[in-house]
A and B are shown apart, each in its own frame.
Chain A
Amino acid sequence: NAGVIQTPRHKVTGKGQEATLWCEPISGHSAVFWYRQTIVQGLEFLTYFRNQAPIDDSGMPKERFSAQMPNQSHSTLKIQSTQPQDSAVYLCASSLDWSQNTLYFGAGTRLSVL
């Protein structure tokens, strides 16, 4: 079991550029979550999918952020027109199914917006 895989591990973008972050959940896991971690805000929930369907995006900034899960093996988080305040570690996690609460996290993508 390879665990949750996130790519890239580090991404540097210029202000105004687009950033796409990738997540491959653990095989067989039906729920995928995205979190953002900063020193100031800590671990913040962004959004999650269950069986590829978006269930809760209450943590997503309304503008510039979007997430998709086109198939059961990967999810993407896209940030358009990145701003310095978007700099953070973006973490993807998956869980087995709706009745299993334990999240398994990927190593994260560190996004730096210059």
Chain B
Amino acid sequence: AQKVTQTQTSISVMEKTTVTMDCVYETQDSSYFLFWYKQTASGEIVFLIRQDSYKKENATVGHYSLNFQKPKSSIGLIITATQIEDSAVYFCAMREGFLSSGSWQLIFGSGTQLTVMP
């Protein structure tokens, strides 16, 4: 069974610094997909970035990038030049390949609260 673990409950950083949020996952599948989502104070959940397991290059979108370490089953989210508006809860999520799990459900971690201070 797949599982996603985020051990950092909350992180506080100063504005314009770089922060890394950790996420480890468990899967028996050789093909899977990893995602990071952000939930704002209003409750809105927004997709940020994804990493497909077969891709060796770390994904990058704007000031978000991933540190994908497949042997460690780890997918860290790196936010550079943090801004006040990056304050939110960040969720890591995983989906196994359809052929193995027979389902497209996304399994989420428990989330990390990021606070960016001025």
Interface pair B44/A45, CB less than 8 Å apart: no
B66: min CB distance to chain A, Å = 14
Answer yes or no: A91 CB below 8 A from chain B CBs: yes
CA A91 to CA B39, docked complex, whole Å: 12
Question: What chain A residues lie within 8 Å of B43 (beta carbons)?
Answer: 89, 107-108
Contact digits for B10-54, partner A, Cβ 8 Å, 1 yes 0 no = 000000000000000000000001010100001111110010000
Q: Check if B107 is an interface residue, CB within 8 A of chain A.
A: yes
Q: Does A12 contact B (CB under 8 A)?
A: no
Chain A residues bordering chain B, tally (CB within 8 A) = 23
The verdict on B81 contacting chain A, using a C-beta distance below 8 Å, is no
Are B110 and A42 closer than 8 Å at their CB atoms?
yes
Q: A50–B61 Cα gap in the complex (Å)?
A: 28
> B residues touching A (Cβ–Cβ < 8 Å)?
33, 35, 37, 42-47, 50, 91, 95, 98, 102-111
